[in-house]
Amino acid sequence: MTQPDFVPTQPPVASDASEVDLPLPLTAPQRKPRLLVVDDQPIHLQVLHRALARDHQLFMATTGAQALKVCRNQAPDLVLLDVVMPDMDGFEVLQQLKAAPETTDIPVIFVTAHGGDEIETQCLQAGAVDFIPKPVNPSVVRARVKTHLTLKFQSDFLRDMAFMDGLTGVSNRRQFDERLNVEWGRAQRNGTPLSLVLLDVDFFKAYNDHYGHQAGDDCLRQLASVLKASLRRPTDLVARYGGEEFVCLLPETAFSDGMDMAHKLLSAVTRRAMPHHFSAVAPVVTISLGLATREGIGQTGRAEDLLALADAQLYRAKHAGRAQVCGQRLGAGPSHGQP
């Protein structure tokens, strides 16, 4: 029977009445955790589906290739992985997950009929976080999944804190640098566009000089809030790039859509109407923006090229009078636009 790349969960089913639910930590996301179950035997998928579907968003794969695709596209919080499969075994799947930056942190529990200390040791040494022998005990599976999701969410929380800008609460430069490399690699593999917007506050030195640095800090916090509210997709990223500069990373966003988003950001900041009576372009705080877009299939270059092009376009916008957007596709001529 042909299986799709992933199968969303069916309506929730009740668990054993005797089971005591283990609470997830306060750092858990406000959604059902995403689990990927990988097994080439439908009966095993059904057993795990019945055990886990109530409290999780469940995806299923029957081959290693399907599992890797789901991990890249759906970013599951945890993978339950069979060892023996027809196309590639679980150890090869795990090795490929660990080798890719966007999937390396996904924890994997091996679920296999091959028991014994030797195979369990091999699974753990390969990088799995746990080992569950078949036939599975549903209560044991649920308890171990809860435990490893708790550890995963706590780890994510600590990592997010390390990647957060202390002043504005958005991502910091370190997080942006990592995400840029990940999204560039994803765009190359999938042949999809990637847009990047670099922006800064017009005449911010004059703002700080006349209103004071505390007011300048508050201005940056308000600006970060406006930018974050304007980016609706969970895959979009806003980060503080340095000083009064911010960057917005827009995966799967073509040049025209990137220009639309840049103008939306420009308008949103202007509408916030933060007074700036020492600006030469407006009585309120404004921003200048540079857009760079990597097109889809066949696009060459490096992630650093995209950032450098956005920086060059930001310079053009400021040189042309500020409070405007300039943009360019990698390998194409520049465009200029004002709302």
DSSP secondary structure of 10-42 = -S-----TTPPPPPPPTTS-SSPPEEEEE-S-H
Quote the CA–CA distance of 285 and 218 in Å, as a whole number: 12
Average pLDDT, integer, range 169-192: 92
Quote the CA–CA distance of 24 and 199 in Å, as a whole number: 38
Token readout for 218 is 């508050």
Looking at every residue in the chain, the average pLDDT score rounds to 88
The secondary element (H helix, E strand) that includes residue 105 is none
Helix (H, G, I), strand (E, B) or coil at 139: helix
The domain segmentation of the chain, as residue ranges, is 34-162, 173-337
Give burial (CB, 10 Å; 0-12/13-18/19+) of 12: exposed
Quote the CA–CA distance of 326 and 199 in Å, as a whole number: 10
Quote the CA–CA distance of 106 and 25 in Å, as a whole number: 18
Average pLDDT, integer, range 114-142: 88
Q: Which residues contact 271 (CB under 8 A, 6 or more apart)?
A: none
- Band the pLDDT of 337: cuts 50, 70, 90: low
Active site residues: 244
**pLDDT for residue 160 is more than 80:** no
Where would I find the H helices in 103-203?
A: 117-125, 138-162, 173-190
- Provide the CATH number for the domain formed by 173-337 in this structure: 3.30.70.270
**pLDDT for residue 299 is more than 90:** no
82 near 38, Cβ under 8 Å? yes
The architecture of the domain spanning 34-162 is 3-Layer(aba) Sandwich (3.40)
- Band the pLDDT of 156: cuts 50, 70, 90: confident
Nearest CA to 311 out of 253, 241, 254, 238 is that of: 241
**pLDDT for residue 198 is more than 90:** yes
Give the per-residue pLDDT at 30: 65
Position 63, amino acid: T
**pLDDT for residue 237 is more than 80:** yes
